[in-house]
Chains A and B, each alone.
Chain A
Amino acid sequence: MEKQGVLITDLRTREAREAFEYLAGLGYEMISVPDGTCLWNETELEAWGETLKQNLYAVIHPAPPLFLRPLSEQTEDDFAKAADDGILSAFCVTKVFAGIFRERGDGVIIYLNSIHAEKPVGRGSLFSMGCGAVQMLAREVNQDYGTHGVRSFFVQRGISQYDPDGKSDISNLYYGVEKRYPERKMPAADALNGLLAFLLTRGAAPLSGSDLRADGGMTMYYGERITEEQLQEIRRQQLLENRKEVTILGDE
């Protein structure tokens, strides 16, 4: 039996590269975009897509690497780049490959995106704007192409050990990350791979159109119960600082 082809459109992130290796190990024929191919050049993509038509079964489209820059420092070029890299590429990939799947009546498209489709990162307005846009694209694909056998999923990846660069001076999201996970440790980067493998199966069909938050529970973190000793220490500090009110958020 011929191997099913799975295209990962962008291998810039370590998660995408590890998924590539993992799925190859499961027997999929893994495909990457040839060097120099522009994902937002529809004509170019269409021509290349024609050559894959035969056995392409699924496409995984990862979000671009995280990009942080304060609004007042962003330029027109930054906006254009974010729109091309974060939004237009997702749209062109969808139009070309989901189009192939629709014609065939079968296929999977997975948007391997980010929790920043829901949760701001701080100073990441252009990046998160793209995530929010692609989240809506995934929902539209489910509506427009779902009746033609195309299954679509939007995965909100959490922070992994390979994301050291999300630290912002106005959000504590990326600080003390280990504490935010109920298991008290950051999931290994390949923890996503099992989910991706499942979504490629027909068993995942009832989840089509879903947002799947794969963040190990970190986004839900709000604080934690502390010990009596810690509480006493906080009260002592409070007295020292002569503050009338202290709100304990459980994080620095």
Chain B
Amino acid sequence: MAMNEERVALVTGSGKGVGAGIVRVLCREGWRCCVHCNSNLALAEKTLEQIREAGGEAILLQADVSDPAQARALVEQTVQAFGRLDLLVNNAAMQYNRFIDEYDVDRLRKLWNINLGGYWRMIREALPYLRKSPQPRIVNVASVHAKRPTCFDAGYAMTKGGIRMFTRELALELGVDGIPVNAIDLGGTRIEFKTGNPAFHSYRPLETRNPAMDGKVRLVMPEEVGHLVSYLASGAASAMTGSCIRLDGGQMLT
């Protein structure tokens, strides 16, 4: 715990949803965190308030990670505030929920620039500071759709497949610097806003419903992602790098 009290984490997209769960857990464990948001400042302020009420230490920064200058400023301001950076969690992403024929080039570019470019940019900017940390870590939040198709948003699945390979490449490349890089293949998670494509229906015949399984396959809670991140950032996980860990409450089993 004493070590965590000095350690600093920057979690992108942590004003709400999955990212908020991650920073709440990390701050409870003594990390000092940068809560980052882009569009929803009101929810991010609420997350910051929750952390501070619980006795945690955090700052809130707003930035668009698809903009190189803003991504750089986000990292630099975090380091200015806390003096160091030990953990980068890439989590900020968007989802259009469109079928292949509904996408156009502009939408795709925007998607790459946030879901892939944001991760790429943040790691590049954070790298000089992570190299100075005694126990540096990078965690990329991906999705079960890095391996299994969505059937309703090819663009999103492509970005997650890209993150899977980006993580493996960087595990190899940054292993030289002693920086483990891992990904979380996250399943459906309970967050503030419902996501998904209303025009997609997953047909499930009545006869396959098993009452014994009801409630066993479930949504993941944002804090549960936080616990996994906390483990990946710990010394106990130092041998783990290049992994894509599925966290989905058993959703992919059916």
Which A residues form the contact surface with B (CB < 8 A)? 40-42, 70-72, 74, 76, 79, 83, 87-88, 91-92, 94-95, 98-99, 116-126, 128-137, 139-145, 170-171
The verdict on B155 contacting chain A, using a C-beta distance below 8 Å, is yes
**Contact A132–B146 (Cβ < 8 Å):** yes
Extra contacts, 20 of them, besides A83-B116, A129-B116, A143-B151 (Cβ < 8 A), are A40-B105, A42-B104, A71-B124, A72-B124, A72-B127, A76-B68, A91-B100, A119-B168, A120-B165, A120-B168, A128-B165, A128-B168, A128-B169, A129-B162, A132-B164, A132-B166, A136-B149, A136-B162, A140-B150, A170-B172
**Contact A144–B176 (Cβ < 8 Å):** no
**Contact B112–A145 (Cβ < 8 Å):** no
The verdict on B226 contacting chain A, using a C-beta distance below 8 Å, is no
**Contact B168–A91 (Cβ < 8 Å):** no
Q: When the two chains form the complex, which single residue of B105, B116, B121, B165 contacts A116, counting CB atoms closer than 8 Å?
A: B165
**Chain B residue contacts of A126, Cβ below 8 A:** 120
**How many residues belonging to B are interface residues under a CB distance threshold of 8 Å?**
46
The verdict on B25 contacting chain A, using a C-beta distance below 8 Å, is no
The verdict on B161 contacting chain A, using a C-beta distance below 8 Å, is yes
Question: Which residues 90-126 of B sit at the A interface, judged by CB distance below 8 A?
Answer: 99-101, 103-105, 108-109, 112, 116-117, 120-121, 123-124
Closest to B158 in A: A133
**Contact A79–B100 (Cβ < 8 Å):** no
With a 10 A CB-CB cut-off, give which of A117, A124, A130, A133 has the most chain B CB atoms. Answer: A133
> Across the A-B interface, how many residue pairs have beta carbons closer than 8 Å?
136
**Contact B162–A130 (Cβ < 8 Å):** yes
The verdict on B145 contacting chain A, using a C-beta distance below 8 Å, is yes
**Contact B149–A142 (Cβ < 8 Å):** yes
The verdict on B157 contacting chain A, using a C-beta distance below 8 Å, is yes
Q: When the two chains form the complex, which single residue of A83, A122, A131, A142 contacts B173, counting CB atoms closer than 8 Å?
A: A122
CB pairs A–B below 8 angstroms (5 shown):
A83-B109, A95-B100, A136-B158, A136-B160, A140-B149
**Chain A residue contacts of B123, Cβ below 8 A:** 71
**Contact A136–B105 (Cβ < 8 Å):** no
- CA–CA, A41 and B109, complex, Å: 12
- CA–CA, A40 and B112, complex, Å: 14
Main secondary structure of the interface of A (DSSP, over half): helix
**Contact B100–A144 (Cβ < 8 Å):** yes
- CA–CA, A221 and B147, complex, Å: 23
The verdict on B154 contacting chain A, using a C-beta distance below 8 Å, is yes
Closest to B165 in A: A132
**Contact B100–A132 (Cβ < 8 Å):** no
**Contact B158–A87 (Cβ < 8 Å):** yes
> Given A94-B100, A144-B151, are A71 and B170 also a contact pair (CB < 8 Å)?
yes
**Chain A residue contacts of B182, Cβ below 8 A:** none
- CA–CA, A73 and B148, complex, Å: 32
**Contact A42–B149 (Cβ < 8 Å):** no
- CA–CA, A195 and B239, complex, Å: 39
- CA–CA, A123 and B176, complex, Å: 11
**Contact A129–B100 (Cβ < 8 Å):** no
Give the Cβ gap from B200 to chain A, nearest Cβ, in Å: 10
With a 10 A CB-CB cut-off, give which of B117, B120, B124 has the most chain A CB atoms. Answer: B120
- CA–CA, A170 and B158, complex, Å: 27
- CA–CA, A120 and B170, complex, Å: 9
Give the Cβ gap from B199 to chain A, nearest Cβ, in Å: 12
Closest to B164 in A: A132
- CA–CA, A161 and B173, complex, Å: 25
Closest to B145 in A: A136
The verdict on B159 contacting chain A, using a C-beta distance below 8 Å, is yes
Q: When the two chains form the complex, which single residue of A42, A123, A134, A145 contacts B158, counting CB atoms closer than 8 Å?
A: A134
**Contact B171–A120 (Cβ < 8 Å):** yes
**Chain A residue contacts of B149, Cβ below 8 A:** 136, 139-140, 142-143
> Given A83-B117, A92-B105, are A141 and B172 also a contact pair (CB < 8 Å)?
no
**Chain A residue contacts of B158, Cβ below 8 A:** 87, 91, 133-134, 136-137, 140
**Chain B residue contacts of A98, Cβ below 8 A:** 100
**Chain B residue contacts of A131, Cβ below 8 A:** 165
Closest to A117 in B: B165
- CA–CA, A91 and B159, complex, Å: 12
**Contact B112–A125 (Cβ < 8 Å):** no
